[in-house]
């Protein structure tokens, strides 16, 4: 039996526009844009201290959970557009506790679908199977995720 080593994880998204995608996910998940490191009043001040040219400062964005219980989410600019289905996706649980009746979960999921479409997401399809109810969606850059 090995020694348990505590670890944090970060979820990273490749993006065409990291700041725009970070804004969407901050609203979708109730996260906030990560503040600059201690001792800096802005990310530009931090970037100046690191010698990062102004034209490269929109190449990343990060989100943090205000309650500090969920992983950090990082967005990095990549030159290519998304071309294939994600191999990994987020399931965003908005329908109440596991095991709650579909009749209770359905309106909660549908309300969140409507809210996220208003923020730029796209509804792909809804499914109801084996006591589960979910909607497959894509974020503004086409990354798939499920609301359940």
What is d(CA 113, CA 17) in angstroms, rounded to the nearest whole number? 23
- Which pLDDT belongs to residue 99? 82
Token pair for residue 68?
């500090």
Rounded CA Rg of the chain: 18
- Shared domain for 39 and 97, answered yes or no, is no
Per-residue DSSP letter, 87: S
DSSP string, 90-125: EEE--S-STT--HHHHHHHHHHHHHHHHHTT-EEEE
Q: Residue holding tokens 């109810």?
A: 133
What is the domain count for the chain?
Answer: 2
Neighbour count for residue 47 (Cβ, 10 Å): 16
| CATH, residue 70 | 3.30.720.120
Q: Residue holding tokens 């990354």?
A: 143
CB 141 within 8 A of CB 28: no
- Which pLDDT belongs to residue 6? 66
What is d(CA 35, CA 119) in angstroms, rounded to the nearest whole number? 22
- Which pLDDT belongs to residue 86? 87
Q: What is the pLDDT along the chain (148 residues), one digit of tens a residue?
A: 567 776 789 999 999 999 999 999 999 999 999 999 999 999 999 999 999 999 999 999 999 999 999 999 999 999 998 888 888 999 999 999 888 899 999 999 999 999 999 999 999 999 998 888 999 999 999 999 999 9
Domain stop point among 31, 46, 77: 77
- Shared domain for 94 and 70, answered yes or no, is no
- Shared domain for 102 and 47, answered yes or no, is no
- Which pLDDT belongs to residue 123? 98
């Amino acid at each position: 039996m090995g020694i348990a080593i505590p670890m944090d994880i970060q979820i990273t998204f490749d993006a065409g526009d990291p700041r725009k995608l970070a804004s969407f996910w901050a609203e979708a998940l109730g996260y906030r844009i990560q503040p600059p490191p201690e001792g800096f009043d802005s990310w530009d001040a931090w970037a100046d201290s690191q010698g990062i040219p102004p034209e490269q400062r929109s190449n990343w964005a990060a989100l943090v959970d205000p309650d500090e219980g969920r992983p950090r989410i990082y967005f990095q600019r990549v030159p290519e557009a998304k071309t294939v289905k994600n191999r990994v996706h987020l399931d965003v649980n908005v329908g109440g506790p596991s095991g709650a009746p579909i009749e209770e979960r359905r309106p909660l999921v549908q309300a969140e679908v409507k809210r996220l479409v208003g923020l730029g997401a796209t509804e792909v399809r809804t499914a109801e199977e084996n006591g589960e109810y979910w909607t497959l969606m894509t974020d503004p850059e086409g990354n798939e995720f499920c609301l359940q």
